[in-house]
Amino acid sequence: MPSQEPEIKNHIRQLRFEHGEMTQDQLAKQAGVTRHTIMALEAGKYFPSLLLAFRIARVFRAPVEQVFEYHATELNL
């Protein structure tokens, strides 16, 4: 049976621009990570830890579900 990666999407790029065109570097500093981490998140190459997800959501003053969304399939409920 083929394994399927969980479908986790994020709205970080959109939220950065809605918050005064915040740069990746500005977000990274506020969230306590590197700009490369933010780049990887936006590109979908990295899934954040729960702690990092909450930190990023806090920067945007948004619930985690507004920043990250999980799409369940039959294989990854």
Question: Confidence band (pLDDT; 50, 70, 90) for 1?
Answer: very low
In a 13 Å sphere around the CA of 7, the CA atoms on its Cβ side amount to 7
What is the separation of C-alpha 57 from the centre of its chain, rounded to a whole number of angstroms? Answer: 8
pLDDT digits (tens, 9 = 90+) for 31-71: 999 999 999 999 999 999 999 999 999 999 999 999 999 88
Distance separating alpha carbons of residues 75 and 77, to the nearest angstrom: 6
- Please report which helix (H) or strand (E) contains residue 70, including its range: strand 68-71
Max CA separation in the chain (angstroms): 46
pTM here? 0.84
Structural domains of the chain in order of their starting residue, each with its CATH number:
7-71 (1.10.260.40)
The pLDDT value recorded for residue 77 is 57
